[in-house]
Structures are given as structure tokens and as C-alpha cells.
A and B are shown apart, each in its own frame.
Chain A
Amino acid sequence: EPEVTQTPSHQVTQMGQEVILRCVPISNHLYFYWYRQILGQKVEFLVSFYNNEISEKSEIFDDQFSVERPDGSNFTLKIRSTKLEDSAMYFCASSEARHDSQPQHFGDGTRLSIL
């Protein structure tokens, strides 16, 4: 069964450094999402992406964050200048369509640790 893959599984970065998290969505999916989960807390929506542009973003997704689909397969999340509070699990998801009957398929996440 096709799946969403994320790399790396664990990223350790010094505060203030830039970090790029990578995702390969399911190949025929058109909608892409990033979520994060701080340890012990709820899964939170960050951003959705369709047709090479952001569809919606949450308050968390400030100017330090950006997303890109640099080629036909990868979908990336960049954090420009990381802060301690960016430490979390980051999950990528994709879906065939945006309609609310369509499920989202998640990767197993990247654990980001900011020192």
C-alpha cells in the first residue's frame, strides 16, 4: 500500500539554525499538509498546500516557516531560524482531494530537537 515517507526520522539542530524537513507524499495525491505535535500535546495543523501554493495556514505558521514542492515528488517544510519551542514531531500528510470525505494519509513524522 502506498505511504507517505518523511526524512529524517530525527533531526537535532542548534537554536537559530535553519532546518528543512522532507516528505514524499503518495504519488497521485494533490493536497499536502504539515502538522506538528509537541511532546504530550495535541496534533496541531500548520499549513495546507495545493497547486503550488499555500491553501490555508494556522497562527503557528509564521514568517519563520515556509513550504515548497521543489519537484514532482518532494514536499518540504523549512524553519528559518529555529527556536527551542519548535522542538516537536512534525507530520506530513497528503490526500487525493480536499473534500471533507477524503482521508488524509500521514507519515511517521520527523522528531525535531532544538538545542
Chain B
Amino acid sequence: DAKTTQPNSMESNEEEPVHLPCNHSTISGTDYIHWYRQLPSQGPEYVIHGLTSNVNNRMASLAIAEDRKSSTLILHRATLRDAAVYYCILRTSYGGSQGNLIFGKGTKLSVKP
């Protein structure tokens, strides 16, 4: 799977928007961009995914660069419950991929009250 690069950590204030960046310069045309998060002492949790167009759901928005070499997960109003490690993961439907997720170190988001 193609590699992603994320900052090790970020801080945000409660009630403010948060933009979590991810670089994936070697992304291929068939790679989906997935975001998961892991709250303390819990399993990973699916957040959002996209292929080419920007995506919105009840949890977050995903902005994908036109060349697809980077993306940004946007939390519109951070809450204390959003403090977690956020993982940007590329998944390919090409080449016999069996669907397993390859996690990196992610970005640890801290939210200050």
C-alpha cells in the first residue's frame, strides 16, 4: 500500500475547527483515502473516506487536493471527545488487495478546553 505522512501531533481548542493534514504523494488512481481515529483505550473507529471528490458526513469533512497527493480531515468544531490518534490510510482495489488496513503512527490530536 502507498505510504502516508502525517504530523506526529496537533493541538486544538475546544469549539474551534481542526484541519488534520495527510500527504500521500505516491497515491495511485485506484487508492481510496480513508481516515480512522482511535480514542484512548478503544479500538480504531472509521471516520470518513473518499476517492477524488470532497466528502462530508456527520463526523467530519474530507478535502482532497486536485492532484490527490494530499488530503485534509476537517473537524468543524472540536470537542474534548475528539481527542484521539487520527490515521490517514490508503486502500487500493488493485493488485489483489485483500482489504486489510495498514496503520501508520497517525496524528495525536489534543483538544484544550
Please report A residues at the B interface, Cβ cutoff 8 Å. 4, 31, 33, 35, 42-45, 48, 55-56, 58, 91, 93, 95, 98-109
Contact = CB atoms under 8 A, between A and B. Distances in A.
Contact of B93 (A33, A45, A93, A99): A99
B97 A100 contact: yes
Given A101-B32, A104-B46, A107-B43, A31 B51 contact: no
B interface majority secondary structure: loop
Interface of B: 31-32, 34, 38, 41-46, 49, 51, 87, 91-93, 97-105
A48 B97 CA distance: 11
- 7 tightest Cβ-Cβ pairs between the two chains A and B: A106-B43, A56-B98, A103-B46, A100-B91, A43-B103, A45-B100, A98-B99
Contact of A98 (B31, B38, B42, B98): B98
Contacts of A35: 44, 101, 103
Contacts of A104: 44, 46, 99, 101
Given A48-B100, A55-B98, A100 B105 contact: no
Given A101-B49, A101-B51, A109 B43 contact: yes
Nearest to B38: A43
B102 A45 contact: yes
Nearest to B31: A100
Contact of A33 (B51, B92, B97, B100): B100
A100 B99 contact: yes
A31 B42 contact: no
B76 to A, nearest CB: 20
B32 A105 contact: no
A95 B36 CA distance: 14
Contacts of B46: 103-105
Contacts of B34: 103
